[in-house]
Structure 1
Amino acid sequence: MKKPKSQVLEALRNASVDEAKAVAFLEAQRWGDAPCCPHCGDLDVYPMMTGEKRNKDYRWRCKGCKAMFTVRTKSVLEETRLPLRVWVYAIWKAASSKKGIAALQLSRECEITHKSALFVLRRLRHGLTEENPQKLTGTVEVDEVYIGGRPRYVSRSNMGTYADYKTPVVGIVQRGGDVRFRVMPRVTAETLGHFVAENADRSCRLITDDSKAYKTVGLAFEGGHKFTRHKHRQYVKPGTDIHSNTIEGVFSLLQRGVMGTFHSVSRKHLPNYLNEFQFRWNTRKLNDDERVTRVVKSLVGKRLEYRESVENPPYSEAAGVEF
């Protein structure tokens, strides 16, 4: 028996090769059947026409504030000269690929420059940033992972410590729920305590490994603090559900994506990649149709200018991480 065709995916395929269909697709995903002015919110708007066809910029005009706008206005797509079909294709691939899409691959498939592909993916990841996320509840697992590899052309005597060439990332996941990531300059009891307190409710049951940094953190949780002794190769306490395998599974997707798809990620831009992997995990129970729709809606109301992305990175250090 054949699987029924998805109308959204069929529209995506058509929109990724035709500019007019790309505009229609994004307008349908953003506004549905009720287009409105992004400046004042007025529903009394109309598309501007050139004869019987829409003008080449696909502009709208609001009868209330008299302003002109397009589907790009008030979003990360604003004032970009790239065709919208490129953005649609990038949204599709970023949302549906398990471990993301590399900028070089996007540049080949869309026949754009590598710089333009980086421009698109950088803004899509910025648009996936969650604003005011709800705190996690129930049973939560916390762990840290170090992203990166050994530096090249460095002798063993001058290699430095583990954290000198790897970037620490802390993650917290609710069992059956969402995950949160954060890049840490250093992993200490203080930084872990702030991160966990911001993302988990005090009623949670906290599960970690046997790191000493978590002992102080676990005192604040009413549900208690349980841990496994990884130093003794204990990963699940026998006869219980005490383990941190969920967050380890999340980290495996992150590491495979970085090593297998992106290959090299700088510390400066690592938080944006974490946004992408966090979004995909939190929407893992949705199908591709719903995930693409959520991506388009998450891009609205956000803007990332070139100066902001270069001069004010989300992480202060810009040292490269090589693999």
Structure 2
Amino acid sequence: MCDLTAPEFQNEDIAREHIEASRWPNGPVCPHCGGTERIYPIKPNEKKKIRKGLYKCNDCEKQFTVTIGTVFEGSRVPLNKWLMAIHLMCASKKGISSNQLHRMLGVTYKTAWFMTHRIREAMREDAPSPMGGAGGTVEVDETFWGNTKPKGDKKGRGYHHKEKVLTLVERGGRARSFHVPSVNAKTLRPILRAQILADTHVMTDEAGQYCHTREPMTADFAQHSYVKHGLGEYVRGDVHTNTIESYFAILKRGLNGTFHHVGAHHLCRYIGEFDFRYNYRANLGYSDKDRAAAALKGIEGKRLMYRDSLPR
């Protein structure tokens, strides 16, 4: 449990020290040249107003603060509010809307919206390792989001007009999701081959992209089992996709109940946020505080400009 009245959420100087301890556990590192030895803090004086937390590197003769090269760079939002936003996003199982953050933090809606996208960038996993392995099981399934039928089209059944999300869930481990253009073997199989180790037991439902292709899934993986949902079969021994269905339940409740509308151009960031919380969930031993600390570790090298966050 994390106390929302903790000093790092109330005081910007303490928040800066908290971020410095997270980013530089062994002392300041120059983001310009990587130097560590010849760095000293620039202290304010009566003649010249100096930004708090400013350092200078004598190797490259450049000045910097802890926010340079991070998702916080260029932001005028106090760092304690950034830490509060990170904590609230990490502690909310189904997410927290930008509108709610705007009210709680006392910033504009536009600022809160941009903050949440920057924090989602910090949550993004860098160079993820393949899932599964010998004795491991990975469940694979897809879900659909939204209703993007062009105006004037008749309502009807089917999912071709919706956004498609492919998710891989490792039993007892991680989740990894992808916003894909279509759900067919040509699109999905290359992703599975790249993300799952060959000696893994893969479990799916009986969908054609997994079970009715020219090349069987066992050509890619050690074992492939599936359940036949169309016949009312959901569990057969340890063969099921219930783990991934539970993940989708949280994802859909968040998208529907918290965010309401998520555009196609932002969907990958939102599903990445749900992946992050799942990968640092409580039954793996992580608390809200641990989850926020993990997100804070990911702030470096992911600066997101406002123009880059807008739809193209």
Scaled by the length of structure 1, the TM-score of the pair is 0.86
Give the direction of change, closer, same or farther, for the CA distance of 1:163–1:194 in structure 2 (3 Å limit).
Answer: same
Residues 122-176 of structure 1, C-alpha deviation per residue, up to 9 Å, x if partnerless? 111122221221111111110011112586986xx71255335421101011111
Residue matched to 1:194:
190
Check if 1:308 corresponds to 2:304. no
In 2, the alpha carbon distance for the partners of 1:197 and 1:214 equals 13
Q: How far apart, CA to CA, are the structure 2 residues paired with 1:227 and 1:80?
A: 49
Percentage of identical aligned residues: 36
Please state how far the C-alpha of 1:179 moved relative to its aligned partner. 1.0
Q: Secondary structure at the match of 1:158?
A: coil
Q: Is the 8 A contact 2:137 2:170 kept in 1?
A: yes
Q: Deviations over 1:285-315 (max 9, x none)?
A: 2222322221111111112122322265xxx
Among 106, 122, 126, which residue is 1:131 paired with? 126
Provide the secondary structure at the position in 2 that maps to 1:201. coil
Q: 1:95 aligns with which of 90, 102, 115?
A: 90
Partner of 2:144: 146
CA contact 2:193–2:220 (8 Å) conserved in 1: no
Secondary structure in 2 matching 1:22: helix
User: Does the CA-based 8 Å contact 1:206-1:221 persist in structure 2?
Assistant: no
**Is contact 2:265-2:311 (8 Å) kept?**
no
What is the rounded CA distance, in whole Å, between the counterparts of 1:23 and 1:311 in structure 2? 32
Farther-moved stretch of structure 1 (285-294 vs 122-131): 285-294
Distance in 1 (alpha carbons) for counterparts of 2:202 and 2:41: 54
The total of aligned residue pairs comes to 300
Correspondence for 1:233 = 232
Answer yes or no: is 1:273 the counterpart of 2:270.
yes
Deviations 1:190-222 (A, max 9, x none): 111012111101111111001111023513234
SS at match of 1:225: strand
| 3-state DSSP of counterpart to 1:261 | helix
CA contact (8 A) 1:204 1:221 kept: no
Q: How is 1:1-323 mapped onto 2 (pairs within 5 angstroms)?
A: 9=2, 13-43=6-36, 44-51=38-45, 55-137=50-132, 138-149=136-147, 158-159=154-155, 162-215=158-211, 216=213, 218-237=217-236, 240-284=237-281, 285=284, 286-310=286-310
CA distance in 2, matches of 1:49, 1:11: 30
- C-alpha distance in 2 between matches for 1:92 and 1:105: 14
Give the 3-state SS of the residue equivalent to 1:163 in structure 2: coil
Alpha-carbon RMSD across the aligned residues, in angstroms, is 2.2
- In structure 1, the gaps of 5 or more residues are 1-5, 313-323
TM-score where L is the length of structure 2: 0.89
User: Are residues 257 and 194 of structure 1, via their aligned partners in 2, closer, same or farther at CA, if it must alter by over 3 Å?
Assistant: same
